[in-house]
Amino acid sequence: MHDYVIALDVGASKVMAARVCNQGRLEALHQQKTPVCAETGESLTCLAQIAQELMLPNRAPLALGIGVPGTVDIKAGQCWCAPNLHWHRIDVARILTSQLEIPVFLDNDANAAAVAEHRLGAGRDRTHLLVITLGTGIGSGLILGGQLYRGAHGIAGELGHVPVLGNGQVCNCGNRGCLETTFSALALAEQASHTYKRRVRARDLIDWAQDGDAQAMALLRRATSHLTQTLVGVVNLLDLELIVLGGGLASAGEIVRGPIAQTLASRVMPRPGPPIEVRLAECGPQAGVIGAGLIAWDGLLT
């Protein structure tokens, strides 16, 4: 029997969990709705239970790696703000360590996805890249010079909270007009429900666009343009070589990737070398859980 860690990728809508070996291979992958309880402590107890159910009877895991959809102080093991879960300054690592009695390594969900895509997925041949997770919220992980870049306080990569509409909707983060209010599963579902005058999920919208529905296509294009505009700025600022599109909305494939690649090719500053590349993620919906596992393995070595 081999050593393993448990990994949890906690999204605003669903949790993925698995046992992860030190190469990032998953066992017993499990998915369920994100537990939303009145008290955050209760939600964490539910997460601890999910982890416990994955533990092998005769061999304890070496650690738990957990990615959460918000800003994280990795040293303190605290989640400062997860806008779509309404978490503020939660001692995630301390609470889970006391319940599970194993080391807990906490990180941002998109950082985890970026680690997975960089080591094992679409970014494995690149050193300066941005991995974007397009889901209920929008997150991103920056790999600069081959290393995950965290910034001064560990919160770098909050792409979803770049303001793109001066007078836009109020975002769950408290700001106004964030990218996430125009292009996220929640925002798209809202826009589509308004257009079609009935309840439409982001998933339906993508299916219809893929079937050639002009209205669905137009909606996706318009939302994508806000993301693209943000990315032109990010690429100019950081001189990236690759953008990786992941998360549920990336399943729209070329409908989203194509226009982003085209616009970036024509709008980023002239530069030497090949144009910026835009690729679809390769680790699939499991990127976050693989990355959370790899982060735990890394943490055990430091």
Instruction: Give 75 or 198: the residue with its C-beta nearer to ligand BGC.
Output: 75
**Contact in structure between 115 and 142 (CB atoms under 8 Å):** no
Alpha-carbon span 46 to 36, nearest angstrom:
9
Using CB under 6 A, which of 133, 182, 228, 263 touches ligand BGC?
Answer: 133
Smallest distance from ligand BGC to CB 111, Å: 8
**Phi and psi at residue 154, to the nearest 5°:** 90, 10
Instruction: Give 108 or 251: the residue with its C-beta nearer to ligand BGC.
Output: 108
Secondary structure (H, E, C), 169-197: CECCCCCECEHHHCCCHHHHHHHHHHHHC
Q: Per rule CB under 6 A, is residue 134 in the interface with ligand BGC? A: no
Instruction: Give 131 or 216: the residue with its C-beta nearer to ligand BGC.
Output: 131
Instruction: Give 16 or 216: the residue with its C-beta nearer to ligand BGC.
Output: 16
Region 58-117 residues binding ligand BGC, contact defined as CB under 6 A: 69-71, 83-84, 108-110
Positive/negative CA dihedral, 270, 144, 114, 78: negative
Alpha-carbon span 19 to 4, nearest angstrom:
6
Alpha-carbon span 176 to 139, nearest angstrom:
17
x/- map, 199-238, ligand BGC, by CB under 6 A: ----------------------------------------
Task: Kindly determine how many residues on this chain lie close enough to bind ligand BGC according to the rule CB under 6 A.
Answer: 19
Using CB under 6 A, which of 123, 139, 246, 248 touches ligand BGC?
Answer: 139
Q: Quote the tokens at residue 215.
A: 């209205």
Smallest distance from ligand BGC to CB 287, Å: 12
Distances (CA, A) of 109 to 10, 12, 34, 60, 222: 7, 10, 14, 24, 26
Instruction: Give 138 or 294: the residue with its C-beta nearer to ligand BGC.
Output: 138
Using CB under 6 A, which of 180, 202, 241, 291 touches ligand BGC?
Answer: 180
**Contact residues: ligand BGC, CB under 6 A:** 11-12, 69-71, 83-84, 108-110, 133, 135, 137-139, 158, 160-161, 180
